[in-house]
């Protein structure tokens, strides 16, 4: 399996650490809504097909990536910085070079 | 001259004689021989005993698919079982032994299993041993009783107990085109791709490139095919865009066109080259793959088809042409297709008499009749073999008239005297890798075989793999595949011209001859045709269920030869065509893979290791080192004649009496910096850090999102926006990732940077009543008294001219200080501290004493923070802030996590003055013979010099409520049962007066 890190380029899965389901929504830190916390900590979709996942490039730039992976074929249709916007991508780049 | 070695011919080096032993007897062979060919040349017919019935078995094949002739190879004390003799290249001093026989191969007591054959029919194990225990001789308990004996009698080879001393390597490789298999198709593919300038890897599981060219006896471009193959492979030498991998089995095809291969680097050598790994695991990323993996010949299923001397036709041809060995003098052939006729001619040419060709087909082509005439063989068309005779070698066969459409036998049985029977049941393309890559194989009625599916990954097939069995087709397909894989276009150019025997590759659809007697389908697991039918009668209709129930195709050969015959018999029983029964999907690995190669550099001398800056000092000063993850840490600094216990007790005692020093450089250290650093720490720790003044440290606890305790350590505030966090040694990496995850994914708005600085700092903890006095003599630039350096205070100064950072904190319970300096000065500062401590009786202590001091204090480590315990369970609830949310705060109060009967941390005192051990259970009932109702378990234990007793920490149900009560420690594995008292985990100095000073 190859994941194309937006900063480092295509790299073997061995360089990455799976950091969980990318669909999870963390409640506000002070939230007392136990159902929401339960959903966040335990409830998973487990689709046969495209799945949103978080992978950390732990053996590379250490950025977290939002990855869409097909659970049947391991095909990866997208990989983007989990921080989102282009600015943060640029920030990673700048830091990597310094 | 060996009895079966031909005068000339073969691709062995007859000038080089090699000596080896098999089952203790000495044999010789020639360079180029396999163990199988050398033993066959020496007249050996019996190679092993079968798995269930202990029937005598000889060689069925000449290659990787061999199911019968499995041997154990010994190298010193190290034994490697279950290797096909056909895959062992002989070398001087090779020591091999046969398997699955007792007491010897020739006389085997379990061969009586044959008489009780019904006992061991399909599903024997399930029927006899599964289910409830009713009566003494049935059910799972009975199985547990019998297992030991059955495994000994029925097992394949026995694994050794000696540690494997060999070295294993791993390589990551990248190429444009990976060619798997180096027969004519593979060689042409590699050549075509290489000529385009592509980076090519050519992998061949045999020692020599060429595949079938090495024994086909055909002519390519006017020269013997084997010479053509050698020349073509030789042309690749010195081309830096081609990597040749002989003795390399590509065993796995994974997503992203990643393939796994095993290279057997030194198995064929008497003495491995310096630094050479025994096996090398290759992870190959290929832009395209050419699958030129050839095909396997299939056996026919008929009574006695497993007798030594019954062999696949092409295997005999290969022994004759490649190794110069005749498997028999009077050879008969039994076939359902044309390819056996070529084998007959080859063996005739090599010097054998061909006594009969028995063909199930009533009509034969004139070309086949001509070949039979050339072989001087009598043809029995429309006949079948119905029995074989002989014991440890074949003496004769019986034939009968056979009607191919009805399967009926008729007429008188006729005997033919023969010492070798060759069978050919058609050919199955070796589609394993394509099947692994995805998609189902397609049944081809003409070929009577499963052909590779449409590619779902970037591979192209060529040659026999695609069902194109002739060399002419293989050459054309190989060339086209190589060009296409390299992105080239087909141009008109001359292709090698092949001269080969004629023949139609399509077999008659006959798989089994039904006559009385055991007809084997799976030779390695002793599955007969009757077993398959029995499974069907008992209701197993899915091929996957059939496979598991009969164990067909589940042995080490994974059914390479038995798969199609077994399926055909199942299909007939079901009354369905073969494609509707379906084939099982092949899974990796294609052949057995050494575990060592998978572990590779994670094990042995190639494993990376982490050493603290003071490592060499520890080793030079008598430390026994202990491996903790990748780290090496001093366990004890033993004196001459001391036991481990004596050493750590002395070290711990001296620390409490005067002072001790320990290397704590392995603790995880993370710089947490930035304007929001304090806010961030408030969120990740259960307690407050934003209120921590600059120049002070605080003990912190982290939970996971689900409210379970995660890690603990002290964090030092070095500046307003600058913290140094320490973690446990084991969790350093995990904590770092945890922090990074929250900063990157959950709270990207926080302006915080985390940097691992574990390797930047060397750390020494110095503790004991004299610790402060020692520091006072060697630290300059700062005072270390109570005013300048209160509990949890931090000062900066120098030791022996080197800047240090000192924090007064205590893990041992003594007045203690952690002294940190730049890692490069670690030993320098360490030695200065040791020198300063000498007049005060300072001792160095290792992990054992460190553990003892912390157990006496009741501090927790990874043994208690085990991923199941909460802060409350560990009596750390005082650290749970109520003023702010933190990671885990919402989930930590769930019903199950605050239940009163949870396992809680307690102390235990051994009442019989014997050590309890970690992992032992705590029980209430005095019932040593049948210990039951565990109320908890021991996490750590030691002899406490402070208390003069064996003590332990434990997690026990209800915890605190049991203080002052008695129970028992139960450790049946180590024969330990004895009384204990449950007490508080704070054994020693519970109010902390010593560390506060
Ligand atoms: Zn990266």
> In this predicted complex, what is the ipTM?
0.90
B668-756: in CATH 3.30.70.1400 = yes
Q: Residue A97: which pLDDT band, with cuts at 50, 70 and 90?
A: very low
- Would you call A71 an interface residue with chain B, using a CB distance cutoff of 8 Å? no
Whether the per-residue pLDDT at A88 is higher than 50: the answer is no
Q: Residue A91: which pLDDT band, with cuts at 50, 70 and 90?
A: very low
What is the model's pTM? 0.84
User: Average of pLDDT values for B120-128?
Assistant: 60
Residues paired with residue B420 on neighbouring β-strands, in sequence order: B331
Whether the per-residue pLDDT at B154 is higher than 90: the answer is no
Q: Residue B128: which pLDDT band, with cuts at 50, 70 and 90?
A: low
Q: Residue B544: which pLDDT band, with cuts at 50, 70 and 90?
A: confident
CA distances from A27 to A32, A35, A46, A65, B888 (A): 9, 10, 21, 21, 12
Nearest-angstrom CA–CA distance, A56 and B358: 65
How far from the centroid of its chain's Cα atoms is residue B14's Cα? 38
Nearest-angstrom CA–CA distance, B286 and B255: 11
Lowest mean pLDDT segment, chosen from A60-69, B344-353, B575-584: B575-584
- Would you call A40 an interface residue with chain B, using a CB distance cutoff of 8 Å? yes
Q: Residue B156: which pLDDT band, with cuts at 50, 70 and 90?
A: confident
Nearest-angstrom CA–CA distance, A20 and A23: 9
Whether the per-residue pLDDT at B628 is higher than 90: the answer is no
Q: Residue A73: which pLDDT band, with cuts at 50, 70 and 90?
A: confident
**How big is chain A, counted in residues?**
98
Cα angle value B626/B630/B634 (rounded, 5°): 25
CA distances from B806 to B777, B820, B978 (A): 14, 6, 45
In CATH, the architecture of B894-996 is Beta Barrel (2.40)
User: Average of pLDDT values for B927-935?
Assistant: 93
Q: How far is the CA of B171 from the centre of ligand 1 (A)?
A: 22
Helices (H), B771-888: 771-778, 826-837, 847-857
Cα angle value B611/B617/B620 (rounded, 5°): 115
Q: Are B357 and B379 in contact (CB under 8 A)?
A: yes
Nearest-angstrom CA–CA distance, B340 and B330: 16
| H/E run at residue B475 | helix B471-485
Whether the per-residue pLDDT at B152 is higher than 70: the answer is no
Q: Residue A98: which pLDDT band, with cuts at 50, 70 and 90?
A: very low
pLDDT tens string B166-187: 899 999 999 999 999 999 999 9
Task: Identify the burial level of B445 via C-beta atoms within 10 angstroms of its C-beta, where 0-12 means exposed, 13-18 middle and 19 or more buried.
Answer: exposed
Beta strands in B165-274 (DSSP E): 168-180, 200-203, 219-220, 223-224, 242-245, 248-254, 258-264
Mean pLDDT of chain B: 92
In chain A, residues with a C-beta closer than 8 Å to the C-beta of B883 are none
Q: Residue B902: which pLDDT band, with cuts at 50, 70 and 90?
A: very high
Whether the per-residue pLDDT at B566 is higher than 80: the answer is yes
pLDDT tens string B190-216: 999 999 999 999 999 999 999 999 999
In chain B, residues with a C-beta closer than 8 Å to the C-beta of A17 are 737
Mutate one of A41, A57, A74, A87 to test the B interface: name it (highest B CB count within 10 A): A41
> CA-nearest residue of chain A to B749?
A83
- Per the structure, the complete domain to which residue A53 belongs is given by 2-96
Cβ separation of B740 and A27 shorter than 8 Å? no
pLDDT tens string A29-53: 999 999 999 999 999 999 999 999 9
CA distances from B90 to A23, B204, B213, B678, B715 (A): 58, 18, 22, 69, 63
- Would you call A19 an interface residue with chain B, using a CB distance cutoff of 8 Å? yes
Task: Identify the burial level of B435 via C-beta atoms within 10 angstroms of its C-beta, where 0-12 means exposed, 13-18 middle and 19 or more buried.
Answer: buried
Residues paired with residue A11 on neighbouring β-strands, in sequence order: A3
More confident residue, B345 or B106: B345
Q: How far is the CA of B729 from the centre of ligand 1 (A)?
A: 26
Which residues of B, range 648-687, sit inside 8 Å of A by Cβ? 683
Lowest mean pLDDT segment, chosen from B239-248, B261-270, B600-609, B917-926: B600-609
Q: Which residues contact B310 (CB under 8 A, 6 or more apart)?
A: B58, B60, B304, B388, B394, B420, B421, B422, B423
Cα angle value B917/B921/B927 (rounded, 5°): 115
- Would you call A83 an interface residue with chain B, using a CB distance cutoff of 8 Å? yes
Q: Which residues contact B506 (CB under 8 A, 6 or more apart)?
A: B337, B446, B447, B448
How far from the centroid of its chain's Cα atoms is residue B522's Cα? 25
Which of B566, B90, B57, B507 has its CA nearest to residue B295? B507
Which of A48, A52, A55 has its CA nearest to residue A25? A52
Q: Are B395 and B372 in contact (CB under 8 A)?
A: no
Q: Residue B110: which pLDDT band, with cuts at 50, 70 and 90?
A: low
Would you kindly state where each structural domain of chain B is located, as residue ranges? 13-115, 168-295+429-499, 299-425, 511-575, 607-635, 668-756, 760-840, 894-996
Write down the CATH superfamily of domain B760-840: Probable tRNA modification gtpase trme; domain 1 (3.30.1360.120)
Q: Residue B545: which pLDDT band, with cuts at 50, 70 and 90?
A: confident
In chain B, residues with a C-beta closer than 8 Å to the C-beta of A56 are 737, 740-741, 744
User: Average of pLDDT values for B721-745?
Assistant: 97
Which of B87, B100, B105 has its CA nearest to residue B22? B105
Backbone angles phi, psi at B233, to 5 degrees: -65, -35
- Quickly name the fold that domain B13-115 has: Ubiquitin-like (UB roll) (3.10.20)
Whether the per-residue pLDDT at B30 is higher than 90: the answer is yes
Looking at the complex, report in whole angstroms how far the Cα of residue A93 sits from the nearest Cα belonging to chain B.
14
Which of B32, B453, B467 has its CA nearest to residue B210? B32
> CA-nearest residue of chain B to A55?
B741
pLDDT tens string B961-990: 999 999 999 999 999 999 999 999 999 999
Which of A17, A19, A37 is closest, CB to CB, to B890? Answer: A37
Lowest mean pLDDT segment, chosen from B5-19, B594-608, B746-760: B594-608
Nearest-angstrom CA–CA distance, B841 and B829: 18
Q: How far is the CA of A86 from the centre of ligand 1 (A)?
A: 15
CATH number for the segment(s) B299-425? 3.50.50.60
Cα angle value A17/A18/A20 (rounded, 5°): 145
Which of B53, B37, B34 has its CA nearest to residue B2? B37
Specify the pairing of strand B794-799 against strand B802-807.
antiparallel
pLDDT at B150: 52
Whether the per-residue pLDDT at B772 is higher than 50: the answer is yes
Cβ separation of A17 and B737 shorter than 8 Å? yes
- Would you call B744 an interface residue with chain A, using a CB distance cutoff of 8 Å? yes
In CATH, the architecture of B511-575 is Orthogonal Bundle (1.10)
Whether the per-residue pLDDT at B635 is higher than 70: the answer is yes
User: Average of pLDDT values for B695-721?
Assistant: 97
User: Average of pLDDT values for B428-437?
Assistant: 94
Domain range B168-295+429-499, its CATH number among 3.40.1190.20, 3.50.50.60, 2.60.40.420, 3.30.470.20 = 3.50.50.60
Size of interface A-B (CB pairs under 8 A): 57
pLDDT at B113: 54
pLDDT at A92: 39
In chain B, residues with a C-beta closer than 8 Å to the C-beta of A31 are 890
How far from the centroid of its chain's Cα atoms is residue B118's Cα? 36
- Would you call B706 an interface residue with chain A, using a CB distance cutoff of 8 Å? yes
pLDDT at B233: 96
pLDDT tens string B288-300: 999 999 999 999 9
Question: What's A74's domain CATH number?
Answer: 3.30.2270.10
Mutate one of B174, B256, B598, B894 to test the A interface: name it (highest A CB count within 10 A): B256
Q: Residue B361: which pLDDT band, with cuts at 50, 70 and 90?
A: very high
pLDDT at B158: 81
In chain B, residues with a C-beta closer than 8 Å to the C-beta of A1 are 254-256, 258
On the question of a common fold for B168-295+429-499 and B299-425, the answer reads: yes
Q: Residue B639: which pLDDT band, with cuts at 50, 70 and 90?
A: very high
Nearest-angstrom CA–CA distance, B277 and B379: 52
- Would you call B256 an interface residue with chain A, using a CB distance cutoff of 8 Å? yes
Number of domains in chain A: 1
Whether the per-residue pLDDT at B363 is higher than 80: the answer is yes
Q: Are B430 and B451 in contact (CB under 8 A)?
A: no
Place of tokens 């910085």: A81
In chain A, residues with a C-beta closer than 8 Å to the C-beta of B258 are 1
- Would you call A32 an interface residue with chain B, using a CB distance cutoff of 8 Å? yes
Mutate one of A19, A28, A42 to test the B interface: name it (highest B CB count within 10 A): A19
Mutate one of A24, A26, A44, A63 to test the B interface: name it (highest B CB count within 10 A): A26
Nearest-angstrom CA–CA distance, B570 and B559: 15
In chain B, residues with a C-beta closer than 8 Å to the C-beta of A63 are 744
Mean pLDDT of chain A: 87
Q: How far is the CA of B648 from the centre of ligand 1 (A)?
A: 46
% of chain B residues with pLDDT over 90: 82
Looking at the complex, report in whole angstroms how far the Cα of residue A83 sits from the nearest Cα belonging to chain B.
6
Q: Residue A90: which pLDDT band, with cuts at 50, 70 and 90?
A: very low
Cβ separation of A74 and B438 shorter than 8 Å? no
Nearest-angstrom CA–CA distance, B737 and A55: 11
- Would you call A41 an interface residue with chain B, using a CB distance cutoff of 8 Å? yes
Which of B464, B886, B827, B769 has its CA nearest to residue B611? B827
> CA-nearest residue of chain B to A89?
B744
pLDDT at B661: 98
Cβ separation of B744 and A83 shorter than 8 Å? yes
Whether the per-residue pLDDT at B926 is higher than 50: the answer is yes
């Amino acid at each position: 399996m190859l994941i194309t890190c937006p900063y480092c380029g295509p790299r073997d899965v061995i360089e990455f650490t799976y950091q969980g389901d990318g669909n999870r929504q963390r409640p506000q830190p002070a939230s007392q809504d136990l159902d929401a916390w339960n959903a966040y900590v335990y409830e998973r979709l487990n689709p046969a097909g495209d799945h949103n996942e978080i992978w950390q490039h732990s053996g590379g730039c250490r950025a977290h990536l939002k990855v869409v992976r097909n659970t049947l074929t391991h095909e990866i249709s997208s990989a983007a910085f989990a921080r989102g916007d282009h600015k943060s991508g640029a920030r990673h780049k700048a830091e990597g070079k310094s | 001259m060996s009895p079966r070695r031909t005068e000339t011919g073969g691709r062995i080096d007859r000038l080089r004689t090699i000596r080896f032993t098999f089952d203790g007897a000495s044999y010789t062979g020639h360079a180029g021989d396999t163990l199988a060919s050398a033993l066959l040349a020496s007249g050996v017919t019996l190679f092993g005993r079968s798995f269930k019935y202990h029937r005598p078995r000889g060689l069925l094949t000449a290659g990787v698919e061999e199911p019968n002739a499995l041997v154990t190879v010994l190298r010193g004390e190290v034994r490697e079982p279950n290797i096909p003799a056909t895959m062992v290249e002989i070398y001087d001093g090779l020591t091999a032994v046969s398997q699955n026989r007792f007491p010897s191969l020739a006389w085997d007591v379990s061969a009586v299993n044959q008489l009780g054959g019904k006992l061991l029919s399909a599903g024997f194990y399930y029927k006899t041993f599964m289910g409830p225990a009713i009566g003494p001789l049935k059910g799972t308990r009975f199985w547990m009783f019998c297992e030991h004996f059955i495994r000994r009698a029925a097992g394949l080879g026995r694994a050794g107990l000696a540690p494997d001393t060999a070295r294993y390597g791993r390589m990551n490789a990248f190429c444009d085109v990976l060619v798997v298999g180096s027969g004519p198709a593979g060689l042409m593919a590699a050549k075509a791709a290489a000529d385009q300038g592509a980076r090519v890897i050519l992998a061949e599981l045999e020692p020599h490139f060429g595949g079938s060219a090495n024994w086909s006896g055909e002519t390519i471009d006017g020269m013997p095919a084997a010479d053509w193959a050698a020349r073509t492979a030789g042309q690749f030498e010195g081309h830096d865009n081609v990597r040749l991998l002989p003795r390399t089995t590509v065993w796995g095809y994974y997503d992203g066109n990643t393939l796994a291969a095993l290279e057997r680097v030194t198995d064929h050598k008497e003495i491995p080259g310096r630094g050479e790994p025994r096996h090398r695991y290759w992870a190959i990323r290929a832009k395209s793959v050419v699958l030129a993996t050839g095909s396997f010949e299939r056996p026919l299923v008929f009574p006695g088809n497993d007798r030594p001397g019954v062999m696949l036709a092409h295997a005999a041809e290969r022994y004759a042409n490649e190794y110069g060995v005749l498997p028999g003098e009077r050879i008969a052939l039994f076939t359902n297709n044309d390819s056996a006729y070529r084998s007959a001619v080859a063996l005739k040419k090599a010097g054998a008499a061909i006594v009969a060709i028995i063909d199930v087909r009533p009509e034969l082509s004139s070309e086949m009749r001509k070949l039979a005439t050339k072989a001087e063989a009598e043809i029995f068309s429309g006949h079948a073999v119905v029995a074989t005779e002989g014991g440890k070698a074949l003496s004769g066969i019986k034939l009968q008239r056979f009607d191919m459409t009805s399967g009926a036998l008729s007429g008188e049985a006729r005997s033919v005297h023969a010492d070798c029977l060759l069978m050919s049941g058609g050919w199955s393309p070796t589609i394993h890798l394509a099947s692994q890559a995805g998609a189902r194989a397609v049944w081809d009625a003409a070929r009577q075989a499963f052909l590779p599916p449409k590619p779902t990954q970037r591979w192209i097939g060529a040659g026999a793999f695609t069902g194109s069995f002739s060399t002419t087709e293989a050459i054309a397909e190989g060339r086209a595949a190589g060009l296409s894989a390299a992105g080239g276009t087909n141009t008109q150019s001359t292709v090698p011209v092949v001269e080969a025997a004629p023949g139609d590759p399509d077999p008659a659809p006959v798989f089994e001859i039904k006559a009385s007697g055991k007809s084997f389908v799976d030779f390695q697991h002793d599955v007969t045709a009757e077993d398959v039918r029995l499974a069907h009668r008992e209701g197993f209709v899915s091929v996957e269920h059939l496979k598991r129930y009969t164990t067909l195709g589940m042995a080490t050969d994974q059914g390479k030869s038995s798969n199609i015959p077994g399926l055909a018999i199942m299909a007939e029983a079901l009354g369905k065509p073969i494609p509707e029964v379906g084939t099982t999907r092949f899974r990796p690995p294609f052949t057995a893979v050494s575990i060592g190669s998978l572990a590779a550099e994670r094990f042995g001398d190639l494993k990376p290791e982490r050493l603290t800056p003071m490592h060499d000092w520890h080793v030079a000063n008598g430390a026994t080192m202990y491996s903790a993850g990748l780290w090496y840490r001093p366990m004890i600094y033993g004196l001459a004649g001391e036991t481990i216990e004596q050493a750590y007790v002395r070290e711990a005692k001296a620390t409490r009496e005067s002072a001790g020093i320990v290397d704590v450089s392995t603790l995880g250290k993370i710089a947490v910096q930035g304007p929001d650093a304090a806010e961030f720490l408030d969120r990740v720790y259960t307690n407050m850090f934003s209120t921590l003044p600059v120049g002070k440290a605080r003990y912190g606890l982290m939970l996971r999102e689900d409210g379970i305790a995660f890690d603990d350590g002290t964090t030092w505030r070095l500046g307003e926006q600058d913290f140094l966090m320490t973690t446990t040694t084991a969790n350093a990496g995990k904590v770092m990732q945890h922090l990074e995850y929250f900063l990157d994914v959950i709270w990207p708005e926080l302006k915080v940077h985390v940097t691992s600085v574990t390797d930047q700092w060397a750390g020494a903890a110095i503790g004991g009543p004299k610790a402060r006095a020692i520091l006072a003599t060697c630290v300059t630039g700062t005072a270390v008294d109570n005013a300048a350096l209160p509990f949890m205070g931090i000062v900066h100064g120098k030791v022996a001219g080197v800047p240090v950072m000192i924090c007064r904190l205590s893990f041992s319970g003594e007045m203690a200080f952690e002294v940190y300096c730049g890692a490069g000065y670690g030993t320098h500062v360490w030695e200065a501290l040791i020198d300063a401590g000498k007049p005060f009786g300072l001792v160095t202590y290792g992990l054992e004493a460190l553990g003892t001091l912390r157990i006496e204090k009741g501090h927790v480590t990874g043994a208690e923070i085990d991923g199941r315990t909460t802060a409350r369970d560990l009596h750390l609830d005082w650290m749970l802030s109520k003023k702010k949310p933190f990671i885990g705060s919402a989930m930590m109060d769930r019903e199950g996590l605050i239940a009163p009967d949870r396992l809680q941390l307690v102390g235990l005192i051994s009442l019989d003055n014997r050590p309890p051990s970690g992992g032992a259970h705590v029980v209430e009932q005095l019932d040593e013979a049948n210990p039951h109702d565990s109320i908890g378990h021991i996490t750590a234990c030691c002899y406490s010099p402070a208390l003069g007793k064996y003590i332990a920490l434990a997690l026990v149900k209800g915890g605190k409520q049991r203080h002052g009560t008695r129970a028992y420690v139960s450790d049946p594995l180590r024969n330990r049962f004895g009384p204990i008292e449950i007490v508080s985990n704070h054994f020693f100095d519970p109010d902390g007066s010593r560390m506060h000073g």
